[in-house]
Structure 1
Amino acid sequence: MALENILGITDSAELERVQEQISKKKAVWLFESGRLDELTPGSFEALSEIHRVLFGEIYDFAGSIRTVNIAKGDFRFAPVMYLESSVEHIEKMPQSNFDEIVEKYVEMNIAHPFREGNGRSMRIWLDLMFKKEIQQVVDWSKVDKDDYLMAMERSPIKDIEIKYVLRNALTDLIDDRDMYMKGIDHSYYYEGYNIYKVEEL
């Protein structure tokens, strides 16, 4: 079963295909329109706007904090009853250097504030912080999929691995369109369509 969507698509494979097509087009618009540069790096408002733009044509919840508890595998993301306060806490976390930015990114991943599309939105959000604070971004084509996924899976307990993976992929090409698009393309390589377990409230 496909996640309920504005387009009325009921096949999950078809939804994944259309979602990739639309969200990539919207990601290009975010960059080329200059909208990304208008956002406040590290703010939840920025993350919410990125999510709204990417997925607004697909889901009516785009840009809004989720209202269901979700889990992936055996890992439960932040419970809905604590989600807003978690997001407020994360937004206030420092982000003045590489380590602080990655720690903030890890915490937002644990929160997983949206029903779908968290990873794709958060990687753009992460690079916004890097760009502003350390004048670098991630060259996602240099990030091995398995290394990244395993490091992110372990990051709630120990973030040293994800810091190592990301630090070794930093580049100074912060305004390069091709570099930005590598990140967008690799977002689907890393994730594709997420199947979350939804828990009754």
Structure 2
Amino acid sequence: MSRYVVSGSEGEYQTGSENRVLGNLVEITDPTEMNVAETELLEDLYIQVFDDFPETLTFQTICQWHRTWLGNVYRWAGQYRTVDMSKPNIRFASPIQIQKLAQEFEDRYLSRFAKLPEMDDEQLVAFLAEMHVEFILIHPFREGNGRISRLLLDVMAVKAGAQPLDYSLWNEHKDYYFKAIQAGRDGDYQFVERLVRDVLEIQ
């Protein structure tokens, strides 16, 4: 959890966790145990989403995914964060801007969900890369933004006629990934496009 700088009440940690696990409803204090719990719950969420594949997407759909995933773990699951968050060289959106940015994100990306099958490969790569960067920069939730962003990419890819993405390459090259996000912050999406192109399998 220490990979972010956070201020405010959502920065509170679980008693007994030595500031390694966020305050939670299941009183988990070990970060490894929490990671296992979150991973298992995420697998359940993937099954639910792909078994009942969405016809449309809104930002509230994404909030519902987050709530379904972590609602039994964190009381703030599915809610926009109320704290400032940052990583080295990246400051995520101010919490007071999230609602406005979420609506803009919905208008710019989610509203085009039905049109995805009409995109050619390069259009799809560019669309997914830009969408991914902008979601990460909004960072709407207190925890789990990266994993929810990947679920969103997978849903978009499948809607477009591709396979869910294999993120192992991204995990192996985390430094490149974060530098690519930093470039995207400045409007240069080519490096994230490369990451998407490397793992996107069109059927």
TM bin (shorter chain): 0.7 to 0.9
| Runs (5+) with no aligned partner, structure 1 | 174-201
The reply to whether residue 136 of structure 1 matches residue 162 of structure 2 is yes
Higher-Rg structure is 2
Q: Contact between 2:155 and 2:164, CA under 8 Å: does it hold in 1?
A: no
**Please, which of 41, 52, 56 is the counterpart of residue 40 of structure 1?**
56
Partner of 2:86, secondary structure, is: strand
User: Is the contact between residue 69 and residue 77 of structure 1 (CA under 8 Å) also seen in structure 2?
Assistant: yes
2:102 maps to what in 1?
87
Counterpart contact for 2:89–2:182, Cα < 8 Å: no
Please give the TM-score of this superposition, normalised by the length of structure 1: 0.73
SS at match of 1:143: helix
Query: Which aligned pairs between 1:169-184 and structure 2 lie closer than 5 A?
Result: 169-172=199-202
Aligned-partner residue type, residue 61 of structure 2? A
- Residues 70-109 of structure 1 correspond to what in structure 2 (within 5 A)? 70-94=85-109, 95=112, 96=116, 97-98=123-124, 99-109=126-136
Offset from partner CA, 1:166-197 (integer Å, 9 cap, x none): 11221135xxxxxxxxxxxxxxxxxxxxxxxx
Identity %: 26
Task: Specify the SS of the correspondent of 1:63.
Answer: coil
Work out whether residues 9 and 15 of structure 1, in 8 Å CA contact, stay in contact via their aligned partners in 2. Answer: yes
The corresponding residue for 1:57 is: 72
Structure 1 position 141, deviation (Å)? 4.8
| Larger RCO: 1 or 2 (CA < 8 Å, sep 6+) | 1
Deviation of 1:11 (Å): 3.1
Give the structure 1 partner of residue 120 of structure 2.
Answer: none
Question: Hey, what does 1:185 align to over in structure 2?
Answer: none
Q: TM-score, normalised by structure 2?
A: 0.73
> How many residue pairs are counted as aligned between the two chains?
168
Tell me the CA shift for residue 78 of structure 1: 0.3
Shift of 1:52: 1.5
Shift of 1:12: 3.0
RMSD: 2.2
Kindly tell me: are residues 23 and 144 of structure 1, through their superposed partners in 2, closer, same or farther at Cα, counting changes over 3 Å?
closer
Match of 2:39 in 1: 20
Q: 1:116 to 1:144 in 2, by over 3 A?
A: closer
Take 2:141 and 2:97, find their aligned partners in 1: how far apart are those partners?
14
Task: Find 2:196's aligned residue among 161, 166, 169.
Answer: 166
Are 2:98 and 2:140, in contact at CA under 8 Å, matched by a contact in 1? yes
8 Å Cα contact 2:154-2:165 kept in structure 1: no
Q: What is the DSSP-based 3-state SS (H/G/I as helix, E as strand, rest coil) of the residue aligned with 2:185?
A: coil
Residue 155 of structure 1 is matched in structure 2 by: 184
Mapped partners of 2:133, 2:62: distance in 1: 14
Give, in whole Å, the separation in 1 of the partners of 2:95 and 2:35: 25
8 Å Cα contact 1:51-1:121 kept in structure 2: yes
Matched residue SS, 1:104: helix
Match of 1:180 in 2: none
